[in-house]
Amino acid sequence: MSGARIAALRQYFASQGREPFDFQERMWRAYWSGESGLLNAGTGSGKTLAAWLGPVLDDAAPSQKGLRLLWITPLRALARDLEKALLEPLQGLGSKWRVEQRTGDTPSARRTRQCANPPHALITTPESLSVLLSHADMTASLGAVTSIVVDEWHEFLGTKRGVQLELCLARLRALAAARGQVLRIWGLSATLPDLPDAMRTLLGPGRAGTLIRAPEPKRYEIDSLLPASLERFAWSGHLGLQLLPQVIERIARTRTTLVFTNTRSQAEIWYQAIVSTQLDWLTTTALHHGSIDAKIRRRVEDGLKSGALRCVVCTSSLDLGVDFPPVDQVLQIGSPKSVARLLQRAGRSGHQPGQLSRVTVVPTHAWELVECAAARHAAEVLDLEPRTGLTLALDVLAQHLVTLATGEGFTAAAQLAEVRGTHAFAELTNVQWQWTLDFITRGGSALQGYPEFRRVEVVEGVHRIAGVDLARRHRRAIGTITSDASMSVSWQSGGRLGTIEESFVSRLRPRDVFIFGGRVLQLMRVRDSIAYVQLAKSKSRYVPRWQGSRLPLSASLGRALLAVLERRERGEVSDPEMILMEPLLRIQEQWSAVPTSGHLLVESLRSREGFHLFVFPFAGRLLNEGVATLMSARAAREQPRTFSITTNEYGFELLCAEAFDVGEATLQRWASPEAPLDDLLASINASELARRQFRDIARIAGLIDPGTPRKSKTARQLQVSSGLMYDVLQRHDPENLLLEQARREVLTAQLAYQELTDVLARMATQRWLLMQPPRFTPLSFPLWADRLQTQTLSTESWRTRVEREAQRLERRAAEH
Amino acid sequence: MEPPGILALEIRGERLLLHPVRAVVWPARRTVIVADTHFGKSSVFGRHGIAVPDGTDAYDRERLAALLAQTQAQRLLLLGDFLHGALDAQQGAARDLALWLRRLRGVCVALVTGNHDRTAAAGWQAPVNWQGDELIDGPFRFTHEDLNDSQHFVISGHVHPVVTLRGLRKHRLRVPVFWERAGGLVLPSFGSFTGGYRVEPQGEERVYAAGPETVVELKVARRARP
């Protein structure tokens, strides 16, 4: 049986002048024998056909209408390309499958048609899948699904979208089981350190799966664009355009180039810089990032495919699937952040199996030279960053349960079994389950009143949404990606350019000039949440900032960085970046000391601002913040104090208005790996961390109204900040499990408790170099100057803080 | 002298006491003045499927009753937005509030209308003395949001003023304030489930921060402007 199918597929491949890869055939056979599993393969390896042709050949000429396959993609921007890729082989195979997509961008008329007459295969996102589950009339269609492909599973893993997807898959599995069918689920993933674990997370605990690996097709080369000398090369800053001339030269030399940046702002700035010096490149250079309107992005993607563009400046928006021919060179502006991501970006060049993939890092400040050398060493030994699935995200569970209640409803016992079948909720306790049910039916635990609350009601044992208005509001709120309130940017004369954060627009006045979407724009007016703009003649003054999640330096890369410095200490320096760095490292050595794997650097000094303590664990931004929070909380417990905590990828600064003891014994007591859990929990309460984390939880769990595009009277009445909600819950329902979740998320996700204890343990074994440099050093200066991420931790009374800040204001006023 | 934590202002010959609970006491008239209580807000949220725990109303009623008892006030003056939205007379929020009002024997409760009270009028009618848009007493005009008056000193609410103090680095402290402007005083919102609107005092304006236990004048208004 499968022999005949394999023959048919080989024949089809031969007609294309190719033959199937071994891993593709293994994948088809596994599918036909009813297995689920995970395929590990890179972009451009043929993974799409490996996952697609199995189901298609299973039933090439479907006699019945109805949905059979769902293809889940992390980015709706990818849906269109996927649709093409899936349609392409159908004709040659004589298949009658209908393929459509359904995302947030799909027009409502088409969505209605899809309900009445569903295609055989539907390409969609986890959010749109949730919305489908919230429509009772889609249940029958979804129940007919027999196979699911989760594309780019590594992108979902470890995120709340991943949890949402796990819950949706559990639902679909139950719907299939009700029809006596077995759902086949296949994930496609890039290389991860623990692939079996990634597969278990996708399929749920205790379910067998088949892991198939495509051979690593590529060799990688990582180098960097070196400044002529380090003199005048900044010690810090992330927008540094110093190497612009060399970047332009590199772009001019090759046919096609991708310029990756780490943030959308950085992409805007580099695009502007390139086209304003190379006017004749204006039509062949483009900008691509997530806030640019989808239509414009598509034009850019088409340009990449047709070869009309020579250079595209982009962010992670082009990291994933978007299918286009390999480019000739890939440049990475600024820190690579993570080895895995750098390799993924490198993979955009030299797509063919066996070909060399190469990426050139363009440092924006001196220390990124060391990062580049470190990334190269880590890539050689494939020391990649691990990713593990989140667990017990009750906010996502609450949202999902309301989604099901909005759809055909659920009964408690069956639903609990279904939910526990996922990796995310396998360990869900009865108490947590009951609380979540109470939360959606009563507002919170039975011990606490929630006046007049109505959301989900239980009628004869079935949980259903309590009204059509609530259903409508819930569908609008579905989704776990949260971002700041955003505004459309449109031409005065009509036509949308993209979205921008409301907080940025609110700081602008009409006539102010800013750059967006690669253009210099003037704000004309703001109306109905739309910022109307026209082209500006003057030079730009502002660059929008998007909150987005900035990726921290990975622990792997941090370790590699210290290892490189350790090698230098031993006199084993061969990397060109390190040779160039030498003078700066000498300065660091003269004024203070150079940290290594075995030596923890601590610097303290006094300035007009107050008393500074710098510590450099090189653990990445989030873990550094964890260490900083712990140390300052322990310090503030010994004596009431207020600390300003600033972190970057290499270390952190504790700033205090008054001097404090920085002796080795004191500091090591504050950083002790003994019983960090209790102290951390206490510090999370004292700091603003949990409050900050609660923002996303409140939105996902439905404690914050998503609002309507046009703000109605009701929407205005329901406006509340997550901070206020947090305070009210703290005071009146302190046992609320969402508060506990916020603390737990800070602990596990943000401070990465497990990794944090590793860092503390490592610090305890390192030799501490306590230096008192005469001025800010090459390592501490960036922390002082950039102040990228600062929070406050205080144990002082309200009055002390208010009075000190008021006095400070007075002093400053007097200086004027 | 006033008890610690309270700040006294002399306005048009009248002594007003600013209380840290975000209320003004006018001893000469034995009056307690508060703005923007937004009672019933958690019920309004609950009806729309947003879970806000019970307790904010009770907490605010207790704070207010304690102040009335402590000052032996004969009049409670509400500067608008007494209710957050229309309440169901049969439901807890309205019933509890009605009971509480009945228990305030000997205290006359007067309300000048705020924008939320107009929406709330569709529901339960609170048994208070509705004054319309304003109440004039002595040198003062009490209103919800209107400020223009050449004759009287205007005491109002509506704005929910807060001031952000900037400390070291990004250290930000948001504090609710009494905001004294030319010819008027804006009260901080009294309701504990209400947000704040950041104001930046200009010129001769003064702000007084209402903390957990004390009212402190912030000299931010003196910030030099070229």
Question: pLDDT tens for residues A727-782?
Answer: 888 888 888 888 888 888 877 766 677 788 889 999 999 999 999 998 889 899 88
CA nearest to A794 within chain B: B171
- Give the neighbor-by-neighbor strand order of the sheet with A410-411: A410-411, A462-465, A456-459
* pLDDT range class, residue B222, cuts 50, 70, 90: very low
Residue type, B33: I
| 3-class secondary structure, A39 | strand
Interface contacts (A, B; CB < 8 Å): 167
Q: Provide the pLDDT for residue A806.
A: 65
Chain B residues 1-40 within an 8 A CB cutoff of chain A = none
Q: Is the pLDDT of residue B142 over 90?
A: yes
Q: Provide the pLDDT for residue B74.
A: 96
User: What DSSP assignment string belongs to A430-458?
Assistant: HHHHHHHHHHHHHSS-TTS--TT--SEEE
**Which H/E stretch holds residue A696?**
helix A689-701
Taking CB atoms and an 8 Å limit, are B195 and A721 in contact across chains?
Answer: yes
DSSP state of A292: B
Nearest to A455 among B43, B49, B211 (CB): B49
How far A644 CA lies from chain B's nearest CA (Å)? Answer: 7
B-interface mutation test, from A802, A804, A815, most B Cβ less than 10 A away: A802
Q: Provide the pLDDT for residue A441.
A: 94
CA nearest to A815 within chain B: B224
Interatomic CA distance for residues A275 and A277, integer angstroms: 5
How far A658 CA lies from chain B's nearest CA (Å)? Answer: 12
How far B223 CA lies from chain A's nearest CA (Å)? Answer: 5
Interface check for B203 against chain A (CB to CB < 8 A): the answer is no
How far B138 CA lies from chain A's nearest CA (Å)? Answer: 34
Which among A713, A730, A502, A466 is positioned nearest to B50, based on CA atoms?
A: A466
pLDDT digits (tens, 9 = 90+) for B14-69: 999 999 999 999 999 999 999 999 999 999 988 888 888 888 999 999 999 999 99
pLDDT digits (tens, 9 = 90+) for B91-118: 888 999 999 999 998 899 999 999 999 9
Nearest to B93 among A451, A610, A787 (CB): A451
Nearest to A806 among B54, B92, B218 (CB): B218
Which two structure tokens, joined as six digits, stand for A358? 């190469």
* pLDDT range class, residue A37, cuts 50, 70, 90: very high
The rounded Cα B166 to chain-centroid distance in angstroms is: 25
Percent of chain B with pLDDT over 90: 60
Which among A560, A481, A491 is positioned nearest to A524, based on CA atoms?
A: A491
Helices and strands counted in chain A (H then E): 32, 27
Average pLDDT for residues A429-438, to the nearest whole number? 94
How far B108 CA lies from chain A's nearest CA (Å)? Answer: 28
Contact B10, B178 (CB under 8 A): no
Q: Is the pLDDT of residue A560 over 80?
A: yes
Q: Is the pLDDT of residue A217 over 80?
A: no
pLDDT: which is higher, A72 or A280: A72
- Give the neighbor-by-neighbor strand order of the sheet with A257-260: A219-224, A356-362, A329-333, A257-260, A311-314, A285-288
Q: Provide the pLDDT for residue A486.
A: 65
Sign of CA dihedral B49, B53, B55, B56: negative
How far A722 CA lies from chain B's nearest CA (Å)? Answer: 10
| Chain B residues in contact with A806 (beta carbon < 8 A) | 165, 216, 218-220
Which among A74, A71, A51, A46 is positioned nearest to A210, based on CA atoms?
A: A51
Residue B105: CB partners within 8 Å, gap ≥ 6? none
| 3-class secondary structure, A214 | coil
| 3-class secondary structure, A252 | helix
Q: Which residue has the tokens 């500006």?
A: A536
Q: Is the pLDDT of residue A189 over 70?
A: yes
Q: Provide the pLDDT for residue A278.
A: 85
Taking CB atoms and an 8 Å limit, are A728 and B193 in contact across chains?
Answer: yes
* pLDDT range class, residue B223, cuts 50, 70, 90: very low
Which two structure tokens, joined as six digits, stand for A712? 């109605």
Mean confidence (pLDDT) of chain A: 86
Interatomic CA distance for residues A226 and A373, integer angstroms: 12
Residue type, A629: T
Contact B82, B94 (CB under 8 A): no
Q: How far is CA A77 from CA A26, A45, A103, A739, in A?
A: 30, 20, 9, 35
Q: Is the pLDDT of residue A337 over 70?
A: yes
Contact A506, A523 (CB under 8 A): no
Contact A670, A631 (CB under 8 A): yes
Contact A355, A274 (CB under 8 A): no
Q: Comparing A523-532, A700-709, B181-190, which segment has the lowest mean pLDDT?
A: A700-709
A 10 A CB-CB count for A433 gives: 19
Q: Provide the pLDDT for residue A524.
A: 87
Nearest to B53 among A444, A642, A657 (CB): A444
Nearest to A452 among B46, B170, B216 (CB): B46
Nearest to B167 among A444, A731, A808 (CB): A808
Angle between helices A576-591 and A555-569 (to 10 degrees): 80
How far A453 CA lies from chain B's nearest CA (Å)? Answer: 4
Q: Provide the pLDDT for residue A105.
A: 75
Which two structure tokens, joined as six digits, stand for A106? 């799909």
Interatomic CA distance for residues A238 and B76, integer angstroms: 57
> What stretches of A641-788 adopt beta strand conformation (E)?
642-647, 652-656, 767-771
Taking CB atoms and an 8 Å limit, are B167 and A804 in contact across chains?
Answer: yes
DSSP state of B25: E
Q: How far apart are the first and last CA of chain A?
A: 87
What are the percentages of helix, strand and coil residues in chain B, rounded to 5?
20, 35, 45
Sign of CA dihedral B163, B167, B169, B174: negative
A 10 A CB-CB count for A753 gives: 17
Interatomic CA distance for residues A244 and A188, integer angstroms: 37
ipTM > 0.85 (yes/no): no
> Residue A112, CB half-sphere, CA atoms under 13 Å: how many?
3
* pLDDT range class, residue A805, cuts 50, 70, 90: low
Q: Is the pLDDT of residue A570 over 90?
A: yes
* pLDDT range class, residue B225, cuts 50, 70, 90: very low
Residue A750: CB partners within 8 Å, gap ≥ 6? A622, A625, A626, A689, A693
Interatomic CA distance for residues A345 and A359, integer angstroms: 7
Q: Is the pLDDT of residue B224 over 60?
A: no
CA nearest to B207 within chain A: A806
* pLDDT range class, residue A446, cuts 50, 70, 90: confident
Contact A292, A299 (CB under 8 A): no
pLDDT digits (tens, 9 = 90+) for A455-477: 999 999 999 999 998 998 898 88
Which among A653, A503, A750 is positioned nearest to B169, based on CA atoms?
A: A653
Contact A603, A776 (CB under 8 A): no
Q: Is the pLDDT of residue A234 over 80?
A: no
Angle between helices A676-686 and A621-638 (to 10 degrees): 90
| Chain A residues in contact with B209 (beta carbon < 8 A) | 802
pLDDT: which is higher, B225 or A382: A382
DSSP state of A750: I
Which two structure tokens, joined as six digits, stand for B190? 């009294």
Taking CB atoms and an 8 Å limit, are A790 and B172 in contact across chains?
Answer: no
pLDDT digits (tens, 9 = 90+) for A619-663: 988 889 889 988 988 888 888 888 888 888 899 999 998 888 889
Contact A809, B165 (CB under 8 A): yes
Nearest to B49 among A473, A657, A805 (CB): A473
Q: Provide the pLDDT for residue B35.
A: 97
DSSP state of A551: P
CA nearest to B214 within chain A: A799
**Which H/E stretch holds residue A791?**
strand A789-794
Q: How far is CA A351 from CA A80, A318, A705, in A?
A: 21, 15, 45
The rounded Cα B27 to chain-centroid distance in angstroms is: 17
User: What DSSP assignment string belongs to A152-182?
Assistant: THHHHTTSHHHHHHHHHHHHHHHHHHHTT--
Which two structure tokens, joined as six digits, stand for A788? 């990228």
* pLDDT range class, residue B169, cuts 50, 70, 90: low
Q: Provide the pLDDT for residue B90.
A: 84
Interatomic CA distance for residues A439 and A424, integer angstroms: 19
Average pLDDT for residues A720-726, to the nearest whole number? 84
Nearest to B48 among A609, A718, A736 (CB): A718
Q: Provide the pLDDT for residue B221.
A: 42
> What stretches of A26-120 adopt beta strand conformation (E)?
37-40, 69-72, 99-102
| Chain A residues in contact with B212 (beta carbon < 8 A) | 798
A 10 A CB-CB count for A589 gives: 12
| 3-class secondary structure, A734 | coil
Q: Is the pLDDT of residue A312 over 90?
A: yes
| Chain B residues in contact with A725 (beta carbon < 8 A) | 52
A-interface mutation test, from B45, B63, B165, most A Cβ less than 10 A away: B45
Average pLDDT for residues A525-551, to the nearest whole number? 74
**Phi first, then psi: what are they for A574, rounded to 5°?**
-130, -20
**Phi first, then psi: what are they for A356, rounded to 5°?**
-80, 130
pLDDT: which is higher, A327 or A203: A203
Taking CB atoms and an 8 Å limit, are A805 and B92 in contact across chains?
Answer: no
Interatomic CA distance for residues A649 and A783, integer angstroms: 9
Interatomic CA distance for residues A129 and A503, integer angstroms: 31
Q: Which residues pair with A500 in a beta bridge?
A: A487
Helices and strands counted in chain B (H then E): 4, 16
Interface check for B201 against chain A (CB to CB < 8 A): the answer is no
Residue type, A638: E
The number of residues making up chain A comes to 816
How far A592 CA lies from chain B's nearest CA (Å)? Answer: 25
> Residue B226, CB half-sphere, CA atoms under 13 Å: how many?
2
Nearest to A799 among B119, B193, B216 (CB): B216
Interatomic CA distance for residues A474 and A235, integer angstroms: 48
